[in-house]
Amino acid sequence: MSNRVVITGMGVLTPIGLDVDAFWKALCQGKSGVGLISRFDTSPFRTRIAAELPGFDPSRYLERKELKRMDLYSHYAVYSALAAAEDARLDSAQCDAERIGVIYGSGIGGISTFENQHSILLSKGPKRISPFFIPMLISDIAAGLISIKLNAKGPNYATVSACASGTHAIGSAFKAIRYGDADVLITGGAEAPITPMCIAGFTSARTLSTRNDEPEKASRPFDGARDGFVVGEGAGSVILENLEHAKARGAKIYAELVGVGFTSDAYHITNPPPEHEGAARAMRIALKDAGLSPEEVDYINAHGTSTVANDKPETKAVKAVFGAHAYRLAVSSIKSMIGHLLGASGAVELIATALAITHGIVPPTINQEVPDPDCDLDYVPNKARAMNIEVALSNSFGFGGHNAALAVRKYRE
């Protein structure tokens, strides 16, 4: 049994837009969402910039009492998932709830809750720790909360694979529908990592940009002047559905998910191998899974973090998979605009990929100013480009050597 899997709903929260339409418009305009951190005093920090959500109001879907019992990352996850379900006109009362599941990713989970409760422990003692501390902290709780909200009684679990978490969740959901374990999966990723500990930790690891005087130019994937990534926050949720189920209920279809590839570098805790062989295998597996040849791919939504460790090896991996066709591909990284949303990035980037196919527009890689001879592909510099896209790949790679690629195709009967 092998079911076709389609995307029937989408919801996003990003630094450049708090719904799908605003997000897509900002992408096409090449808008940067990076600025100075407003959440806490950054004066002792080398990095003082991030991509925060502007004016997020969770009250549309969440009540005040609920908010107090949820970490910020869960606010983002539940909000975007309910927006996606609304977009898909998904009603579990009209479907078989036992055939609707939730698979959701987060690389870090409830880090702000951890920091807050640790401070309370040190200042006020163990008796003052919240009874909701553990449920607020754990990375699987977002999947559980979404399941409760939507009465989804099918498969329900979380994926945790650093920056590949959202993509692993979506790929796992794809497989569950393809092989008949569910009809509908609510899936994606959420992250809320703009906290003192996170910024300090990534800064100490020397992975972050320190371009504090020009925040909007700090995230510059594949550019010769890149100096590190920019932390972002938000969530991306999609409704994946068995094609026949979607057609039976008259759902709109954005695009078809046709293949996934999961691999491991088995190399280093943070850095990919120089040739990024694991990334190349993930792309090849996704293409084989989809029954596609490399020459059929028009666009790659790259992982493209704006780090020396990622951008050159990812470029090499693309060349290894696509050969001469690599130079005919459009390749772009929306992290240039939204920063790196860690475990949410793959989900948001899949949504951008599906929208690119739907609208026939490739979002740009902004801040392309200094050529890098080792990064010599067509990164769609600075301006969006109109082009027909039949097939696209979306790549995600995480600390620990986790690689995931998704193959997406324009939907046709």
Query: Looking at the structure, do residues 206 and 267 belong to the same domain, yes or no?
Result: no
Is residue 1 scored above 80 in pLDDT? no
Beta strands in 17-128 (DSSP E): 35-36, 49-50, 100-105
In angstroms, the CA 293 to CA 271 distance is: 29
Q: What are phi and psi of 51, to 5 degrees?
A: -110, 95
Specify whether 403 is located in the same domain as 266.
yes
Give the model confidence (pLDDT) of 76-91 as tens digits: 999 999 999 999 999 9
Query: What pLDDT score was predicted for residue 260?
Result: 98
| Contact predicate 354/240, CB 8 Å | no
| Residue 92 confidence (pLDDT) | 82
Among residues 194, 226, 248, the one where a domain terminates is: 248
Task: Supply the pLDDT for residue 48.
Answer: 98
The answer to the question of residue 310 being in a domain is yes
d(CA 404, CA 347): 12
Together in a domain, 266 and 190? no
Q: Could you tell me whether strands 391-398 and 385-386 are parallel, antiparallel, or unpaired per DSSP bridges?
A: unpaired
Does the global pTM surpass 0.95? Answer: yes
Q: For position 28, what pLDDT does the model report? A: 98
User: Do residues 171 and 402 touch, judged by C-beta distance below 8 A?
Assistant: no
Of 189, 224, 248, the domain-final residue: 248
Asked if 221 and 126 sit in the same domain, the reply is: yes
Asked whether residue 254 is assigned to any structural domain, the reply reads no
Residues 297 and 178 in one domain: no
In a domain, 335, yes or no: yes
Averaged confidence pLDDT in the chain: 97
d(CA 55, CA 63): 17
Q: What is the pLDDT of residues 328-365, one digit of tens each?
A: 999 999 999 999 999 999 999 999 999 999 999 999 99
Whether 132 and 29 map to the same domain: the answer is yes
Between strands 49-50 and 35-36, the pairing is antiparallel
Q: What is the DSSP string of 207-276?
A: -B---TT-GGGT--TT-TT---B-BB-EEEEEEEEEHHHHHHTT----EEEEEEEEEE--S-SSPPPTT-
Whether residue 378 is contained in a domain is answered as yes
255 belongs to a structural domain: no
Q: How many structural domains does the chain have?
A: 2
pLDDT digits (tens, 9 = 90+) for 2-54: 899 999 999 999 999 999 999 999 999 999 999 999 999 999 999 999 999 99
Tell me, yes or no, whether 256 lies in a domain.
Answer: no
Q: Interhelix angle for 111-124 vs 72-88, to 10°? A: 150
Share of residues in the chain with pLDDT > 90 (%): 97
**Domain end point (choices 223, 248, 273):** 248
Q: Is 104 helix (H, G, I), strand (E, B) or coil?
A: strand
Q: What's the mean pLDDT in 127-137?
A: 97
Q: What range defines the domain where residue 122 resides?
A: 5-248
Task: For residue 384, give the CATH number of its domain.
Answer: 3.40.47.10
Same domain, 14 and 140: yes
Model confidence over 209-243: pLDDT tens digits? Answer: 999 999 999 999 999 999 999 999 999 999 999 99
Q: Determine the Cα–Cα distance for residues 213 and 45; give it in Å rounded to an integer.
A: 14
Q: Which residues are catalytic?
A: 163, 303, 340
Beta-carbon-side half-sphere exposure of residue 221 (alpha carbons within 13 Å): 30
Residues 293 and 241 in one domain: no
In a shared domain, residues 220 and 266: no
What's residue 275's pLDDT? 86
Domain match, 222 and 314 both: no
Do 104 and 234 fall within a single domain? yes
Q: Does residue 191 carry a pLDDT above 70?
A: yes
My answer on whether 310 and 208 are in the same domain is no
- Maximum Cα interatomic distance, the chain, rounded to a whole number of Å: 64
In a domain, 240, yes or no: yes
Residue 121: inside a domain:
yes
| CA distance linking residue 148 with residue 18, whole number of Å | 23
